[in-house]
Amino acid sequence: MAILRTARSHFSRSFGETVTWMFGWVENRSAWLRPALYGPLFIWALILFRGGLVVLPIALPVLFFQDREFFWRLVLTLSVLAPAGGFAGGLLFGLVSPIASRLGAVGTVLKFTVAAWAYLIVLAFVIIPVIEPHKRFTLRDPWDWAFIGGFGFALGIALAFGTRKEHG
């Protein structure tokens, strides 16, 4: 049966082979779409390598039995909402890149700032209300937008500085 062969070949890959396949698949997409696909992968990598491999296997079963509502909100956030923020940031990064790339260091800051703004908007208006329903950012509050704008700009500078340092 074709479906069984496909399932066996899919599950017989090692983690390294799966990651290689995933990056190969992303690299075969259009240049403007690649950052949007790398965005969720970057977010998942941050979740996994910033404690997810140790904390999540312990915390999730405990949460499942102690506070099932929070467990499902956390699962939704980690598996869908945070990567969606990465997708949004990556998509804007890819769309701004053709113009911003002509601006040198300023363009690099612009690309990362726009990507950070997109992720922070998802964080403030979608993720935080799901994780902590009593805390809400509001679209009308100028201080919420000032936080998103200022912190996004700071992140843009930090990320741009990091990439410029790596590439010379």
pLDDT tens digits, residue range 33-52? 888 888 888 888 777 777 66
Please tell me the distance from the alpha carbon of residue 94 to that of residue 110, in angstroms, as a whole number.
12
Confidence (pLDDT) at 15: 64
The whole-number pLDDT of residue 47 equals: 78
- At 120 the pLDDT is 92
Q: What is the pLDDT of residue 115?
A: 93
pLDDT beyond 90 at 117: yes
Count CA atoms within 13 Å of residue 60 on its CB side: 15
pLDDT of residue 5: 67
pLDDT of residue 11: 61
Q: Which of 148, 134, 131 is nearest to 67 (CA)?
A: 131
Work out the widest C-alpha separation in the chain, in whole angstroms. Answer: 60
> Burial, 8: exposed, middle or buried (Cβ in 10 Å; 0-12, 13-18, 19+)?
exposed
Confidence grade of residue 1 (pLDDT, cut at 50, 70, 90): low
Neighbours of 25 (CB within 10 A): 10
**Per-residue pLDDT band at 60 (split at 50, 70, 90):** confident
List pLDDT tens digits, range 135-163: 777 788 888 899 889 999 999 999 888 87
With 80 as the cut, is the pLDDT of residue 132 above it?
yes
Is residue 89 pLDDT above 80, yes or no?
yes
The pTM of this model reads 0.74
Predicted local distance difference test score (pLDDT) of residue 106: 86
CA 130, 44, 128: angle at the middle one, nearest 5? 15
